Structure 1
Amino acid sequence: MLYLPPPIGRLADYNPPPYSEEIQVVFPREHVMILAFNRPKALNAMTPTMADDIKRILDWFDEEPSLWVAIITGQGRVFCAGADLVAWNQRANAGVAESPETLINDVNGFGSISRRSSSPKPIIAAVNGGAYGGGVEIILNCDIVIASEDAVFALPEVKRGVVAIQGGMPRLVRIAGHQLASEMLLLGRTVSAQEAFSRFGFVNKVVPKNQVLATALEFAREINQNSPDSVQSTKRALILANQKTTLEDAVAAHVLSKESRRAQGGENIKEGLTAFVERRKPKWTNPAKL
């Protein structure tokens, strides 16, 4: 099992919305939240309850000014095995199928993460063990991915007669290119953590299994040394770069975004410039609510 660090000091006083035992939520460092999938016996396969819990927590995280970075991880030997195919088979046999309109309108995607673009806050995936199907789609929409040396990744939907339709395919093509993406998507083949890092390019760092969470926390610490206003405006720019057709459209949308306006007119830009002149470390404050 993955032993999550305990909350420290006043961070234990956070009051997130209620959630089931299918996820765990802790606040191990100032401004950092860890959300762990907690169905290890089922390889963290996604259920409707689990997806609802994740949405509720991430929606709250987005609105909580004192939380700046989220880390997503999984209990047990698999990060996330994708959808619960047993439940999917039961729905299929009962003639229940998701309509195209339902999929399109699910703006947050698989597990409320794979297409989530509303939040400007960084999300780090700490991948201990395997990630399959929707689990990979979740990872592809995270900003930074730390993987254990024994981690593997697969989009095996074609082997089961289903399709990776929740945002993973276009992101993988943009990251890896058409031919490499085809290896995973058309063959349904599994790739190692080292391949995901060196060939496919969607893993930032590969570390020993017992260092995955510590490394993710170190990345979060480095992010939080920077102005949260600037970080969140930059995250919005990264999202817009994937959404807009041209460079000029992306630049214009970013300049006019709520996050950019806040960064330009907030207290942290003043603090950052003053600290530079005074040759000291800046003391950042929580961003104003948008």
Structure 2
Amino acid sequence: MIEEEDDKQKNIDEELEKSEKSEDSQAKSHGEILKEQICEGQKIYTLSTSSIIMSSLTAGLEIGFSYMLLCSVFFYYSDSLAVESLFKIIALVYPLGFILVVLGQSILFTEQTSLLTLPVLNRQHSIFSLLRLWGLVIFGNLLGGCLIAFVLVWIGPQLGIFDTKTIVKIGEHVAGFSLPVILVSAILAGWMMGLLSWLVTSSKDTVSRIIIIFLITATMAFAGLHHSIIGNIEVFAAFISGPEVSLGTFLSVEAVALAGNAIGGAFFVALLKYRAFVNNVG
């Protein structure tokens, strides 16, 4: 049995090695994308702990620019549009932070969830090493998000680009669902972010990558899906701005959103994409 598994893994590795990018090809094959994803994931496993934390901290900070813009747009149009319409319009500015993070190659948990899972599925790393890496990335992302939330909660009203009422409304909106709803919503968001990583790898130029990031993250925002990292900023900012959002609410929403995002990226993208490839390997 063990020998059969080893032979199967050897065949998988050989097939991945054959997946070399062709200059004449209009699109990358499934194997080419999978190989690049595994290689990218492998590189992150080789980074030092301090490098991973600093890169993920940077991602948490940079996502804050999305929050700054969505608060500004919400506040600017609050007198002329209904609240329901405002939560749809902010989808147009929601992608900015994601564009900065993905193109800048900072480590964002939801974008890297499936990427970091693939080397484990390919038997190059253990589940323990995956969970350790996820923990470091989540820590850096959440810390960066909380730090930028403190800054924006102060600077927004000072510059007159949004007020405390706007901060609280957005936070209440994100947290105002039952935990089962947040879980399923977060799974869908994690699924979409995993696809974002896959599609960005499949694209060949910066413009197409920006379009992919915009379409996927704007769709997430328009549908109101729960993203654990920018959601961390949205709910934490409301928590420190008033009594409407409690610490318990913040912690429970964030925990469920993280779990959902992890399930969506690891299972619906990494596992299914990987199995779709290896099932064709003899």
* TM-score of the pair, normalised by structure 1: 0.26
From the two aligned structures, give the one with the greater helix fraction.
Answer: 2
From the two aligned structures, give the one with the greater strand fraction.
Answer: 1
* TM-score of the pair, normalised by structure 2: 0.27
Greater RCO (CA < 8 Å, at least 6 residues apart): 2
